[in-house]
Amino acid sequence: MKTLKIALDWTPNINHIGILIAKELGFYEEKGIALEIINPIEDNYEVTPGKKLELGLADFAIAPFETVISLNNKANKVDAVAIYAILQEDISSIASLASKNLTSPKLLDGKIYASYKARYEDKIVQELVKNDGGEGKFQIAYPEKLGIWNTLIEGKADATWIFDNWEGVEAKGKNIALNTWSLKDYGIPYGYSPVIITKNSNSKKHKKEFSNFVKATQKGYLFALENETETVTILEKYVTEYDRKNINLKATLSATKPFIGTADTCGKMHPERVISFLNWLIANQLENKSIKEQLLFTNEFL
């Protein structure tokens, strides 16, 4: 068995379901892989998934696509590359409690946005507000990452970034009305999120093992499409006690399945979508045009 480690971007949730299934049902073992899952709750997110990849603490990390760009363009460059898109479409939103009466992004001016301090995040939200006719002038708070959702629910912030298939499902189940804004509706061609990333040098060195990892992972996600009861049972085993009590896991699966893809598309990244996001970053002076020449993703392991 080849031991491989993957650092999650959040506590286990529906976005990780294919990985959890592949581990639980032995799909990785069938490929000669012993997979170790690194949960950020272990260090309260003190070290990000991208940093764990950089430091060699993990072979793979789950992160938004912008982490790949960031790692490739920092002073101590990391040859990061995205190898698997967990979702085929962006199903995240900027969300606010309906009770706050922020009916459109421009009303976030003068309010508090709870940020994960992710690469480009604050600028993206600023552009969202400006594209809706606002000034993009709001206060940014940086709560503990794993507590940001509760910061919104408790009214300590006016808006934050959520996944519609996780926090969105929790809110609906609790009859908590939200106002949500999709980036694409406001002219922001956001990239893939989340993706599985690795170091390009390692992928070349361990090409067979990494290819087997991706194939087993894809098998896990495709399994989730056809086996609802077993999938929910596996998810229930991995999520936190809070999530088991507060989130309808079956509903999160229903919200996610349309975006996993098919046997032909599951995990795949489309060049035109990546380039569209890169062009947006360049146009907004967030990155140099050299990013378009870098190897930031590959579908070769699918």
Confidence at residue 87, expressed as pLDDT on a 0 to 100 scale: 98
Going along the chain from its start, the domains and CATH numbers come out as 2-88+192-293 (3.40.190.10), 92-186 (3.40.190.10)
At residue 21 the predicted structure's pLDDT band, cuts being 50, 70 and 90, is: very high
Instruction: Spell out the residues 6+ positions from residue 275 whose beta carbon is closer than 8 angstroms to its own.
Output: 292
Confidence at residue 119, expressed as pLDDT on a 0 to 100 scale: 87
Taking the CB of residue 218, how many other CB atoms lie within 10 A of it?
22
Taking the CB of residue 96, how many other CB atoms lie within 10 A of it?
26
Identify the CA nearest to 51 among candidates 40, 41, 295.
Answer: 40
Helical segments of the chain, H only: 17-24, 27-30, 49-54, 65-72, 121-131, 148-153, 167-173, 200-205, 207-226, 228-238, 241-246, 249-256, 271-283
Alpha-carbon distance 196 to 214, whole Å?
9
Q: Give 199-247 pLDDT, tens digit per residue.
A: 999 999 999 999 999 999 999 999 999 999 999 999 999 999 999 999 9
Amino acid occupying residue 280: W
14 neighbors 165 (Cβ within 8 angstroms): yes
Structure tokens at 232: 């929910």
Degrees (nearest 5) of the Cα angle 21, 81, 225? Answer: 25
Is this structure's pTM higher than 0.85?
Answer: yes
Q: Give 269-286 pLDDT, tens digit per residue.
A: 999 999 999 999 999 999
